[in-house]
Chain A
């Protein structure tokens, strides 16, 4: 029945919030994208497709487009298979608690690191003076740059997304279904092939699309690893703008990126998501009630997982090592010099990053809870439009968002390029949506009759929100805070376009160091970011436990999505 628990017409506070949010969305989501499209399609006020035509005629740029798609498909397949391996092992191999924790830890590391840490570790290992290629194998003249290394690095970075998508799915398959097939005489392999796998296919498709989109949007890894012979769209757009000062060309390139990104987004949202057979209840991974794996299969799976987890751990150990020696590959004497450098020359970047993250964090958390609450519990005109609009910056590749902000806020009426404000706004509207989704998910588990029960007992809508709704969605607020902070520490693709002399970021500093071959400071910065992020995760986890009301629905994962 269409009766909302809080009507916007009767409540001026609600109406005001809705209007303010719409103004903010119009300013920071709709306007920049409109400015981007305007810059691409119009020249001095006249409509002209010249910009796009020029790109489509340029073989080099077309190759970048093709390379981006190729890389995306490769990462999609590789990452989905790796994620499936881990998810299946975690859900079916009857692991003890220690092994499960080890798997989760190996998966968590890439998720919370700056997106190019594995790329840096690749260079340390396989570069011209790499630990493995040069020191261990004695190979000379090896080039690490290109498709293969970029793809491997991105698979390591993004496979956790597939793991997080597939594990609840596998755990959610009613084990009685598999037991039934087994009791009907099917072999274990046949059960996997005819029951488990078909039930997982929508999840696999979903994971593939998510990884494809992540790879398409990834900017940092190809910038470090792709090299000159393997151009991809995001880096081309970046070079067009920072190298050639051609804002319009960069805009057109990012516009080209928009097409596959949009297709993937629509496929994922409207096609794959409707084909799930298994409803994910969010319950913990149940143990299989029977031996769904033969012993040798179990051993093989565990070994494969251990190998990949080993690579991940090796990468991070290497990063730490590189930050503590004079020059990796040349002089392995212990030194703290790199840390001295980042805390003197790099101090401004650290300070700016922390200040920006600390401002964006509460605002982004609040934004997530407010929008999430409004779109699920209050009926007002344009509700669905608001939900979709709020998701746009989250769904688009960062390069597009960054260039759109650059174009929109570079000149009057709103000239904020180069200030911290533009970066903060970008973080709020790009990463706040995680909080929206968590809030929506939580509220959907909270029956409306709770609101009604409170009002029936004599409480007004204010008291009801404060005493019933708020305590129950507090976990979403903290999770939203955490995600905004972590992404503020690690993001690069959008913000690389928005930094300036006056305001810079750690991640941008790392990239600069990499291009100047100051590998030590780059490693030290990366270690610092990982340390800060881990401290933050621990803190948020503690706060969540402290504030988690009895019986309140739990937040599935702070990093989901």
Chain B
């Protein structure tokens, strides 16, 4: 689009929204509980979490499909909490695309403009423009049933952005596509969003997808926000076991804090003592802890570290994954392929942990 954005992007404030419903078996359930986060103007924010964590409910409340029981939703300075969905000026992309089966691609995309009573000539121009933008020029007269999944996805995207919404909302838009197309589409969506500079909130359960597209990730579990930040924050500085295990792969080691100085804890685990940064909560000496060790932070050497035995070896192309047995604990480690590739199953090896990469979390019941 030539005029990249007619209006400046706005922030979206989700201010302590909650939603309860009554479950047939479980009784009263919090679908969302005091959810709070802010999407900066033009930012790409992802709600990430396992199914049932409340991310979709939160998104539907931002859209206006659900009414929060408590809390407010602000678009810029406007409190839209009570505003019906059709007056919020949002673009919503559904998981199943929700294309109108009886309308052609052109009519689907034009729908939102026609509802806004825009002049016919302008509608045609805008639809053509946006279809070209998503790579579907020439598809105007096709019907949704005649399109492939990826094409349907693009129509849904075009339909959402053609109305120049204040906010773009995505509800797991890629989950019906195959793996390769998913990677391509997520890149396209991110690029388009950059170009349009529309504040975007995106729901997914796929942590890799979330890390790939987001400026800011809000991790949710059981209806609540458990941590938010950039992808790097979440990966390198998880505040809880849940985030550590949900974002990326991880080894969690049982340990005890033996000393603490300058904010660095010394933790005894696997028969050794390691320096680790505490997560969000400082840890007292003597406290039980879980040590977070990412697989790539474990160096496998021939000697000079913790003794371990190789139990499995899996070649994955750009990297090799090893299963290790060390002090009666199973560990996973990865290293780039190439280089010294002589380590085999059954070998006795020595492990060293990159100290700066270790994090000590308080032990939870989870």
Contacts and interface: CB of A to CB of B under 8 A. Distances in A.
A547 to B, nearest CB: 10
Given A1-B21, A468-B100, A551-B102, A453 B143 contact: no
B94 A458 contact: no
Contacts of A450: 98, 100-101
A453 B100 contact: yes
B102 A453 contact: no
B85 A456 contact: yes
Nearest to B89: A458
B85 A549 contact: no
Interface residues of B, number: 34
Contact of A447 (B31, B86, B96): B96
A472 B102 CA distance: 7
B92 A549 contact: no
A393 B19 CA distance: 42
Contacts of B221: none
Interface in A444-492: 447, 449-450, 452-460, 463, 467-468, 471-472
B86 A456 contact: yes
Contact of B21 (A2, A468, A549, A550): A2
B65 A472 contact: no
Nearest to A464: B86
A552 interface: yes
Given A3-B65, A463-B115, A456 B100 contact: no
Interface in B137-152: 143-145
B115 A458 contact: yes
Given A447-B96, A550-B143, A551-B143, A457 B101 contact: no
Q: Please indicate which of the listed interface residues A447, A459, A549, A550 has the most CB atoms of chain B within 10 Å of its own CB.
A: A550
A457 B93 CA distance: 11
B63 A456 contact: yes
A257 to B, nearest CB: 39
B160 to A, nearest CB: 8
Given A455-B85, A458-B163, A552-B101, A449 B115 contact: no
B14 interface: no
A465 to B, nearest CB: 13
B116 interface: yes
Contacts of A551: 101-102, 143-145
A458 B101 contact: no
B100 A1 contact: no
Contacts of B66: 1, 3
Question: Interface residues of A toward B: which range?
Answer: 20 to 34
Q: Please indicate which of the listed interface residues A3, A457, A468, A550 has the most CB atoms of chain B within 10 Å of its own CB.
A: A457
Contacts of A447: 96, 98
A453 B92 contact: yes
Interface string A185-198: 00000000000000
Given A550-B143, A551-B143, A551-B144, A454 B104 contact: no
B112 interface: yes
Contacts of B64: 456
A122 to B, nearest CB: 47
B98 A459 contact: no
A456 B90 CA distance: 6
B104 A550 contact: yes
B109 to A, nearest CB: 10
Interface in A273-324: none
Interface in A226-268: none
B366 interface: no
A549 B84 CA distance: 29
B26 interface: no
Given A2-B21, A457-B115, A549 B94 contact: no
Q: Please indicate which of the listed interface residues A1, A452, A456 has the most CB atoms of chain B within 10 Å of its own CB.
A: A456
A452 B94 CA distance: 9
A453 B94 contact: yes
Nearest to A552: B102
Contacts of B159: 453, 457
Nearest to A550: B143
B180 interface: no
B104 A459 contact: no
Contacts of A458: 86-87, 89, 112, 115-116, 163
A412 B66 CA distance: 50
B111 interface: yes
A459 B116 CA distance: 8
A472 B115 contact: no
A2 B64 CA distance: 15
B94 A449 contact: yes
Contacts of A463: 115
B92 A456 contact: yes
B39 to A, nearest CB: 18
Contacts of A2: 21-22
Contact of A449 (B87, B89, B96, B111): B96
Nearest to B65: A452
Contacts of A549: 101-102
Contacts of A552: 101-102
Contacts of A457: 86, 111-112, 115, 159, 163
A2 B96 CA distance: 20
Contacts of B145: 550-551
Contacts of B91: 456
Nearest to A468: B100
Contacts of A452: 65, 85, 92, 94, 98
Interface in B98-120: 98-104, 111-112, 115-116
A441 to B, nearest CB: 16
B111 A454 contact: yes
Nearest to A445: B101
Contacts of B98: 447, 449-450, 452-453
B24 to A, nearest CB: 10
B115 A459 contact: yes
Interface in A174-228: none
Q: Please indicate which of the listed interface residues B63, B85, B163 has the most CB atoms of chain A within 10 Å of its own CB.
A: B85
A457 B111 CA distance: 8
A438 B251 CA distance: 56
Interface in B46-92: 57, 63-66, 84-87, 89-92
Contacts of B111: 454, 457, 459, 467
B232 to A, nearest CB: 33
A449 B98 CA distance: 6
Interface string A1-34: 1110000000000000000000000000000000
Contacts of B87: 458
Interface in B179-226: none
B269 to A, nearest CB: 44
Nearest to B171: A449
B84 to A, nearest CB: 8
Contact of A472 (B86, B90, B101, B144): B101
A449 B152 CA distance: 15
Contacts of B89: 458
B171 to A, nearest CB: 9
A555 to B, nearest CB: 14
Given A2-B21, A3-B65, A454-B111, A459 B86 contact: yes
Contacts of B63: 456
Interface in A399-449: 447, 449
B28 to A, nearest CB: 13
Nearest to A446: B101
Contacts of B116: 458
Interface of A: 1-3, 447, 449-450, 452-460, 463, 467-468, 471-472, 549-552
Instruction: In the A-B complex, list the 6 residue pairs whose CB atoms are closest, starting with the nearest.
Output: A551-B101, A549-B102, A457-B112, A449-B98, A453-B98, A456-B92
5 contacts: A1-B31, A1-B66, A449-B96, A457-B111, A550-B102
Given A3-B65, A456-B65, 18 more contacts: A1-B31, A2-B22, A3-B66, A449-B94, A452-B98, A453-B92, A453-B99, A455-B65, A455-B84, A456-B86, A456-B92, A457-B86, A457-B115, A458-B87, A459-B115, A460-B86, A551-B101, A552-B101
